[in-house]
Structure 1
Amino acid sequence: MSSPVKLNFKQVITYQVGSATPIYLQLAQQFINAIQRSWLEPGVKLPGSRILAENLGLHRKTIIAALQELESQGWILVKPNVGTFVILPQATELLKNKITSFSSLSAYPEKAGFTFKTSDLLALEPIQQQPNDLICTDGTPDLRLSYFKNLTQGYSATLKRKSTPNKLGDLHHENKYFKNQLTNFLNGTRGLHILPDNVLITRSTEMSLFILAQTILQPNDVVVVAQLSYYKANMIFQQIGAKLQTIPVDEQGLSVDALKQLLKKQKIRAVYITPQHHYPTTVTLSADRRLALLSLAETYGFVIIEDDYDYDFQYDKSAMLPLASADVQGMVVYTGTFGKALFPNFRTGFIVAPKNVIQEARKYLHIIDPQGDVVLENVLAELIEEGDMHRYLKKSIKEYQARRDFVVQFINDHLSEWIAVNVPNGGLALWFTFKQPVVLQQLTSFFKQKKIVLPRFVQYQNQKITALRFGFGHLNTEELTQVLMAFVLFFEQEKN
C-alpha cells in the first residue's frame, strides 16, 4: 500500500502544548485513535520522522519518541532501510464503519450511536445566572453564616487519625460513630425512640426518596401527594412508574377528609407529606389531622412517607413533633437532612424506618453509594457530640427569624395591596399569594432587568392560584430589600 505522504497529518493528529501529558504521548494516542478508526489502515507506510516533524511543526526527537512508543505497544512495525508500517495488536479490532471525513480526532461524537430512553419527568430548567445576580430560591440557608473554621479543623483532625485510611478503603463501611450520634440527636430533637439499626445514612433527601421508591414502590402503585407538592419527589415517584393522585391542602395542611374519600374508591400504596412546613405553601399539618392520618394508615395499610426537610429551623417552642414520633405500628418512613444549615457539601440525608425496611433499603444504597463519606460523617458526629451543632443552630435560627420578620413587615408596610403572605413558625421560605392578577412571566422578565433571578421552580400559576415560594434564608437584609423593592417597582409599573 502506498505511503500517505500527501495526507495533511496536522488535521488528523492534534496535540496540546502545556498539557500535563507529554506531547510525544499525545501523538502516540492520536495515532492509535486514527488506526482504531480506520483512518490509518494496516499495511500503510508512514512518512519518515523528518517529514512528520515538518508536517506537525514539532522537533524530530519528539516524533521519534512517539514512534518508539507506538512500536512498543505493537501498533507499528519498523523495518530498517524499508520504512515504518501500521499494524494491529492481536487484541485490537477495527471499527466496522470507517470515518471518511477528516475532522479533528480530539472532538468527541456529538450524539450516541445507540438508542436510549429519555425522560421528560426529570427535566429541570437550569438557572441562568450572571455575575452579581441575586437568586430567589425555594428556601436555602446562608452559607456566609456557616462555621467554616470549625468544619475545616474537623476535616483536618479526622484526616490525620491513623484509623481513617482503613475506613476510607472499606467498601460498605457504616460509620457507627456517626449513626450513634445522629440517632441521639434525632431522639433528642424530634421525640423519636429509635436505635442505630433504624437509621440509614444517605447523601440527600432526594437520594433517600429514590431509595425508598425502589424499596417500597412498584410500577402502577398509587402515591398520594398534595395538589401542590415537592416537585422532585413527584419526579422520583413517577420515574419508577407510580401513579400520582393529588388531594387539596388548606390552612391546616393536607386534607384528610379528601384522603378518606379517595381510600373508599381505590387502593393506595403511600402518602407523601411534608407536615412540618408543607412544600411549597409552608403550612403546618394540624395535630388532629396527624392523628387521623396515622389512623387511616393503620386501617388501610398504606405507607406514610414523611419528609421533614427543614425541621431544624424552628422559631418558637410550639413546633409539633414528627408523625414518626407517634407511630407505634411501623407505618411511617421518616426522611430528612442533617447539617442543612452548613455548606451543601457538609450535608447528609437519612432514612428512619423499621429495621427490616432499613435492611432492604441498604441494598440499594450499597449499589449507588457503597463508600459513603467517612470523613464528613466523622466531622458531623463530632459537631453533635461536642454540642457545636446545637450552638450553631441556636445562633443561626435567631438570624433567620429576624430575616423572616423583616420580609413580613416589609410586605405589610409596602406590598399588602398586592401580596398576602403566610407566616410559618419555621423554615427558610414564605408563601406569597397575589391578591391581584399578575403574569409571573412578566415579573420574571422585570426582575431580570434588575439583576434578580426568579427561577421557574419557585413560581406557581394556574387558573386557581398565582403564588411564589420565596426563600429568605440565603439573603441578608440589604439583599432582601433589593428584591422586595423590585416587587414594589413592578407593581407601580402595573398600576400605570
Structure 2
Amino acid sequence: MIGFIKSGKLAPSTKLPGSRKLSEDLQIHRKTVVAAYDELMSQDWIESIPAKGTFVSKNLPIIKAKEFQHLPDSNTHSTVGFDFKKRDHLFIKGIEALHAPLKVDEGVPDHRLAPIEDIAKNYRNIANKIHHKELLGYGDTYGNLNLRKALVSYLNQSRGLKTTVDNILITRGSQMGIYLASQLLLNNQNTIITGNTNYMTADNTFMEANGIIKRVSVDDNGINTSEIASICQQQKVSAVYVTSHHHHPTTVTLSAERRMHLLDLAQQYHFAIIEDDYDYDFHYSNAPILPLASNDTQGNVIYIGGFTKIIAPALRIGYFIAPKEVVDEAARLRRILDRQGDTLLEQTLSRMIMNGDVQRHSNKVRKIYKERRDLFCNLISEKLDNYFDFKVPNGGMAVWVRLKQPYNWDIVMAEALKLNVAFNPEWRRYDNDNSGHNGIRIGFAALDKDEIRTVINTLEKVMERI
C-alpha cells in the first residue's frame, strides 16, 4: 500500500476498499487487513472518515503516477540522486572478493585458534553481574578504566614502557589509532616520512588526512634514518611512520643504531614518530626487541598497537599511547568519530589480561606460528628455490617473497586461482615507489600445516606450467 501511495498509483483522497472486500480479493484474513489499515493510519498514510470509508490521506503530496512495471522491487537504488566525495585512493579489491576454497592472506592470525571459551566465560560472567549493568550505558571516551589500568601493567612489563592511565586511549584496533594520529598531525598538508615499501592502508590514511608522503629506502636494517636526516635538513617534517619491529611489508627489524638515530632526529627536529607495533608478540629467534616508545624521554613517540593479531581480527580493541595532551586531543576527535568502544568487551579483555589468559594464549600461538613459519620456509626452499627469493623472517606472520624475473605475479595468481588457491590480487600496492621489486607478503600464520603444503604444492605446479 505504501509503495503504491509513494509511486502515485494511489493518489491523495483515493477511497480504499473495505476490509472485508480487500480480504476477499487478496484471500487473506480480515484481521490482517484491519491490522495493516491501523498501522497505515498511525503513520498518517491513510485516514478514516466516519460513514464514508477509508481514504488515502488528503494531506500527502500529489505524485505523477508511474507504470506498475516500473515499481522498484526494493528500496535499493543503483543510481545516486546527490553529489558526494569519492575517494579513489581508498578502493582496494581484496582477496575477500575472490571465490576459492583456500585464500592466502598477507599475514593475519588464525582465528580458529582464538580463545573463544576464555572470552565467553569472562564476558558471560561480567554481563551477569548486577554491578556491571553500568557498562551498558555511555562510558568514558578514553576507554574502559579497568582495561587502561591493566594495560599500564601489561605494556610496562612486556614492552618496557613507562606509561600511565592518562597516556592511554583505547581504540577500535590499531587502524583507528593511525587515523587519529594522522588527523592530529597532517591535516594542513604537513609532511610525513615512510619507507619506500610501506603498509598501504597507512599510506591511504595519511593521504586522507591531507598529508604529503616522502619516502626513504628500506634495507635489511629497516628504514634509512640517514635519508630521514637529509629530508629534515631541507624541510619541516611533522611525522615519521615506522613499523619498527617487523617492517611492513618486508618483515625486517629496525636496527638498534637506527632506533637511537631516529629518536635523536625526532628530538632535534621536533617531529612525531608514529610507531605501529602491530605484531610485537610474535618474534621467534629471540626475545622481542623493545619498541622505540620504551626509550622515548622527550615525548616524541605515539605508540600504537592492539589485540587483533594476538587474539583475532574481529576483536577490535587497540591502544593509542602518547603524552597526555595528545591523548586528550585524540579522545576529543574520537568522540565525534565513535563515541566509545564496546565497554563489556573491554572489561572482558581487562580481566583476561589480569588473569594471564592473554599472555598464555600469546605464548601458545607463538609456538604454533613458529612451527608454521619453519614448515612454510623449508618447503619454499625445497620446492621453489628456482623461482622465489626470500629470507626467513625473525618474527611476524608473513614471509616477504620476491618472484624472480621474468615471471609475473598476475600470471602466477591467475593460474593458482584455477587450482582453487587465491592470493591477494592487489599485489602491486606493495610497490609504493614503482621500483618493480616484484615482492609480496605471503601469510603463513592463518594456514595449518596441511594448508601450507597445499599452497606450496600448488605454487610448484603453477611454476612448472608457466
Length-normalised TM-score, structure 1: 0.87
CA distance in 2, matches of 1:297, 1:70: 65
- Maintained 8 Å contact 2:293/2:301: yes
Q: Are 1:158 and 2:130 an aligned pair? A: no
- Maintained 8 Å contact 2:281/2:288: no
Q: Are 1:122 and 2:86 an aligned pair? A: no
2:236 corresponding residue in structure 1: 267
CA distance in 2, matches of 1:487, 1:68: 64
Q: Are 1:450 and 2:380 an aligned pair? A: no
Residue 88 of structure 1 deviates from its aligned partner by 4.4
Residue 216 of structure 1 deviates from its aligned partner by 2.2
Residue 420 of structure 1 deviates from its aligned partner by 1.5
Equivalent of residue 116 in structure 2, options 134, 139, 148: 148
Could you say if the C-alpha distance between residues 420 and 76 of structure 1 is closer, same or farther in structure 2, counting changes exceeding 3 Å? closer
CA distance in 2, matches of 1:172, 1:319: 32
Larger mean Cα displacement after TM superposition, 481-490 or 355-364: 481-490
Could you say if the C-alpha distance between residues 409 and 237 of structure 1 is closer, same or farther in structure 2, counting changes exceeding 3 Å? same
- Maintained 8 Å contact 1:137/1:458: no
Could you say if the C-alpha distance between residues 159 and 303 of structure 1 is closer, same or farther in structure 2, counting changes exceeding 3 Å? same
Written as runs of structure 1 = structure 2, the 5 A alignment for 1:164-203 is 164-172=132-140, 174-203=143-172
Written as runs of structure 1 = structure 2, the 5 A alignment for 1:464-475 is 464-475=436-447
1:478 corresponding residue in structure 2: 450
Name the SS for the 1:121 alignment partner: helix
1:43 corresponding residue in structure 2: 13
1:87 corresponding residue in structure 2: 57
- Structure 2 unaligned regions, length at least 5: none
Name the SS for the 1:433 alignment partner: strand
CA distance in 2, matches of 1:487, 1:230: 25
Larger mean Cα displacement after TM superposition, 33-42 or 112-121: 33-42
Alignment-mate amino acid for residue 168 of structure 1: L
1:280 corresponding residue in structure 2: 249
1:407 corresponding residue in structure 2: 376
**Cα deviation code 1:55-97 (max 9, x no counterpart):** 54433442233234434554434345544322246xxx638x6
1:21 corresponding residue in structure 2: none
CA distance in 2, matches of 1:139, 1:201: 24
Larger mean Cα displacement after TM superposition, 225-234 or 78-87: 78-87
Name the SS for the 1:186 alignment partner: helix
Report % sequence identity. 36
- Maintained 8 Å contact 1:37/1:94: no
Alignment-mate amino acid for residue 476 of structure 1: D
Could you say if the C-alpha distance between residues 40 and 421 of structure 1 is closer, same or farther in structure 2, counting changes exceeding 3 Å? same
**Cα deviation code 1:346-375 (max 9, x no counterpart):** 341111100100000001222222231122
2:358 corresponding residue in structure 1: 389
**Cα deviation code 1:232-272 (max 9, x no counterpart):** 11111101211111111111111112222222322211111
Could you say if the C-alpha distance between residues 234 and 64 of structure 1 is closer, same or farther in structure 2, counting changes exceeding 3 Å? same
Larger mean Cα displacement after TM superposition, 263-272 or 51-60: 51-60
Written as runs of structure 1 = structure 2, the 5 A alignment for 1:34-433 is 34-88=4-58, 94=61, 98=64, 100-102=66-68, 103-104=70-71, 107-108=74-75, 109-126=77-94, 127-130=96-99, 133-172=101-140, 174-433=143-402
Residue 440 of structure 1 deviates from its aligned partner by 0.8
Name the SS for the 1:172 alignment partner: coil
Could you say if the C-alpha distance between residues 493 and 169 of structure 1 is closer, same or farther in structure 2, counting changes exceeding 3 Å? same
- Maintained 8 Å contact 1:44/1:85: yes
Could you say if the C-alpha distance between residues 361 and 85 of structure 1 is closer, same or farther in structure 2, counting changes exceeding 3 Å? same
- Maintained 8 Å contact 1:74/1:88: no
Alignment-mate amino acid for residue 100 of structure 1: K
**Cα deviation code 1:188-225 (max 9, x no counterpart):** 11111111111110011111111112222223111111
Alignment-mate amino acid for residue 10 of structure 2: L
Larger mean Cα displacement after TM superposition, 227-236 or 54-63: 54-63
Residue 491 of structure 1 deviates from its aligned partner by 1.8
CA distance in 2, matches of 1:382, 1:68: 50
Could you say if the C-alpha distance between residues 398 and 69 of structure 1 is closer, same or farther in structure 2, counting changes exceeding 3 Å? closer
Residue 275 of structure 1 deviates from its aligned partner by 0.9
- Maintained 8 Å contact 1:312/1:393: yes
Could you say if the C-alpha distance between residues 292 and 115 of structure 1 is closer, same or farther in structure 2, counting changes exceeding 3 Å? same
2:464 corresponding residue in structure 1: 492
- Maintained 8 Å contact 1:50/1:60: yes
CA distance in 2, matches of 1:362, 1:82: 61
1:20 corresponding residue in structure 2: none
- Maintained 8 Å contact 1:140/1:473: yes
**Cα deviation code 1:23-51 (max 9, x no counterpart):** xxxxxxx2xx5435544322222234455
**Root mean square deviation, CA, Å:** 2.1
**Cα deviation code 1:398-453 (max 9, x no counterpart):** 11111111112112222222212122221111111123321111111111111111
CA distance in 1, matches of 2:22, 2:356: 68
Alignment-mate amino acid for residue 472 of structure 1: F
CA distance in 2, matches of 1:64, 1:151: 48
CA distance in 2, matches of 1:395, 1:85: 69
Residue 104 of structure 1 deviates from its aligned partner by 3.8
Name the SS for the 1:224 alignment partner: strand
Could you say if the C-alpha distance between residues 458 and 393 of structure 1 is closer, same or farther in structure 2, counting changes exceeding 3 Å? farther
- Maintained 8 Å contact 2:135/2:344: no
1:24 corresponding residue in structure 2: none
Could you say if the C-alpha distance between residues 164 and 221 of structure 1 is closer, same or farther in structure 2, counting changes exceeding 3 Å? same
Alignment-mate amino acid for residue 81 of structure 2: G
Alignment-mate amino acid for residue 64 of structure 1: V
Residue 144 of structure 1 deviates from its aligned partner by 2.3
- Maintained 8 Å contact 2:144/2:170: no
